[in-house]
Amino acid sequence: MKSKQNHSAGFFFEKESQWQDAYRKLRTIILDCGLDEELKWGKPCYTWQGANVVLMHGFKEYCALLFLKGALLKDDAHILIQQTENVQSARQIRFTDSKEITKLKATIKAYIYEAIEIGKAGLKVDMKKSTTLVYPEEFQKQLDKSAKLRKAFESLTPGRQRGYHLFFTGAKQAKTREARIEKSIPLILAGKGLED
């Protein structure tokens, strides 16, 4: 059962990108599996009965299919990638050119069908309890000196807090951490995450 393209997602496939050929091939494969195309987070997201299954996105070095419950897939072909150790559920299949997509077409479809079955069965990824995050001293000082900032930060979702943690701790030099923190304070006070 082939699904229809969603017009709101059309801009993604029309905008200038090195991955346009790859995106079009992936779109054809996914729609051929019977998923509905929607636009979420500014990316084409494919759903089954309203539940997110897989989305498409691109980066400088690769484009990817992101399976939202990818940790539950069998991954017999050993092609799924966990983006970072902090990502518990989602897994990517990465592509560096559209020829890889053509070569892996049957495997991609098999993974999509398996992801649909996981959704139908109502399976959920068993999330580990998040450990307490230890912030760099530059950010801790800001939290200690501003009750308003502390309250705003504690009001953010755990995912947004983790996003800032990774952003701050990803800088090796204190000067860079301080610059990142200063840039982030207005976002935190506005109740926003890094990607909002």
List, by residue range, all CATH 3.90.1150.200 domains of the chain. 7-120
**What's the pLDDT band for 33 if we cut at 50, 70, 90?**
very high
Q: Find the mean pLDDT for residues 14-25.
A: 93
**What's the pLDDT band for 6 if we cut at 50, 70, 90?**
confident
pLDDT given for residue 48 in this prediction? 93
Which is higher by pLDDT, 106 or 163? 106
Q: What is the pTM of this model?
A: 0.67
- Provide the CATH topology of domain 7-120: Aspartate Aminotransferase, domain 1 (3.90.1150)
**What's the pLDDT band for 2 if we cut at 50, 70, 90?**
low
pLDDT given for residue 132 in this prediction? 66
pLDDT given for residue 55 in this prediction? 96
**What's the pLDDT band for 196 if we cut at 50, 70, 90?**
confident
**Mean pLDDT, the chain, integer:** 90
Residue 29 has pLDDT above 90, yes or no: yes
In this predicted model, what pLDDT tens digit does every residue of 54-72 receive, in sequence order?
999 999 999 999 999 999 9
Residue 184 has pLDDT above 70, yes or no: yes
Question: How far is the C-alpha of 187 from the C-alpha of 196, rounded, in Å?
Answer: 9
- Per cent of the chain over pLDDT 70 is 95
Q: Find the mean pLDDT for residues 101-107.
A: 97
Residue 169: how many other CB atoms lie within 10 Å: 15
In this predicted model, what pLDDT tens digit does every residue of 120-171 receive, in sequence order?
999 898 877 655 677 888 999 999 999 999 999 999 988 898 889 889 988 8
